[in-house]
Amino acid sequence: VLKHYITGFPKESDMELVTTGAVRLKVPEGTTAVLVKNLYLSCDPYMRSRMTKHDEPSYVPDFIPGEAITGYGVAKVLDSNHPNFNEGDYVWGITGWEEYSLISSTEGLIKIKYTDVPLSYYTGLLGMPGFTAYIGFFEICKPKKGEYVFISAASGAVGQLVGQFAKLMGCYVVGSAGSDEKVNLLKDKFGFDDAFNYKQESDLNAALKRRFPQGIDIYFENVGGATLDAVLPNMRIHGRISACGMISQYNLEKPEGVRNLIFIITKRIRFEGFLLFDHIDRYPEFLEFTVAHVKDGTITYVEDVVEGLENAPSALIGLFFGRNVGKQLVVVAKE
Ligand code: NDP
């Protein structure tokens, strides 16, 4: 549970593990709720925003201190009064950071169609981050073969897939990440054409110019701040920027300014924000496309797996320090 609302960087002591009394593993009569056993929980950057009290409603509700944190996860249905879910089904969607959850509003729950791939993939590759990569790249960036693509936070849950989608499209792909280990993954495992450790570059603008002498057609924006500022002058005319996230800003009390916005005009850039919720009707199309590539081995995925609910707070916080290598998830139970 979140103990209290926070400002600045989250700390482990802002959350605590609590034990409740015995729970009845039955759905209450007269409801259409679903009772699940949680298997895998997803740690996602947007959860940071929910740890702060907002005066105006945000696009996701603030957490309620003292109640179990909610977020995306994979679970097994133990009991259900809902016509779409049966005992024994595997589901992914919004659940609680707890061993068992009674889910009353099931619109955020999807029955898992393919169980012959690792179920943990529904926290990442085949779940919310993977779908974000698909919409953000194909729908927002509208890529063409041979275009020059740059991705920040490229080894993470979203970025590693954007890069592989871009390679499937025949693009030239460069990613940035915060360690040499991550840079090697980008080049050796995910097939990026080039990659660099942004923490080792004193001049990001020059680092991009060296890798994109002809300029960038598509920037998949995950971090904001100094990276965005360096990208803008390096964009080509009629380039596209898909504004997926700006993680470098999430813990700042005052967001950093971006000096180079003028290039949006002079280079006629289309800079478009998106949220995956608005595209959820395309999830089945994404699933079929991605599962086929996973099964034939043309898409691969790296997960950073932590065991035990008691380790979930540090795993979540680790996202904001770049501690995760690949998709960060927490195993609550194996079955
Ligand atoms: P990741 O798995 O990439 O984890 C976060 C990573 O961000 C860290 O590992 C770290 O990698 C990097 N990072 C953290 N702090 C900074 C910083 N100050 N400057 C630069 N990089 C930093 O997360 P996801 O792939 O799940 O999410 C990527 C982005 O996509 C986030 O911004 C998230 O909010 C956004 N998002 C948006 C959605 C939408 O609907 N629009 C849906 C899902 C995600 P490194 O070591 O490389 O620095």
Residue nearest to atom 7 of ligand 1 (CA): 153
pLDDT 10s digits, 276-322: 999 999 999 999 999 999 999 999 999 999 999 999 999 999 999 99
Alpha-carbon distance of 323 to 319, in angstroms, equals: 6
206 assigned to some structural domain:
yes
* Through-space distance between the first and last CA atoms of the chain, rounded to whole angstroms: 23
Residue nearest to atom 40 of ligand 1 (CA): 275
Q: Is 178 in the same domain as 63?
A: no
Averaged confidence pLDDT in the chain: 96
Q: Is 138 in the same domain as 250?
A: yes
46 C-alpha to center of ligand 1: Å? 9
pLDDT 10s digits, 172-191: 999 999 999 999 999 999 99
Which of 43, 123, 190, 247 has most ligand 1 atoms within 8 Å of its beta carbon, as the pocket-test mutant?
A: 247
Alpha-carbon distance of 303 to 93, in angstroms, equals: 18
Q: Is 261 in the same domain as 141?
A: yes
202 C-alpha to center of ligand 1: Å? 21
Whether ipTM tops 0.90, in short, is yes
On whether the CB atoms of residues 151 and 141 are closer than 8 A, the answer is: no
Residue nearest to atom 26 of ligand 1 (CA): 157
Q: Is 64 in the same domain as 137?
A: no
223 C-alpha to center of ligand 1: Å? 6
84 assigned to some structural domain:
yes
Residue 78 belongs to domain spanning? 12-124+302-331
Alpha-carbon distance of 132 to 283, in angstroms, equals: 10
Q: Is residue 123 over pLDDT 90?
A: yes
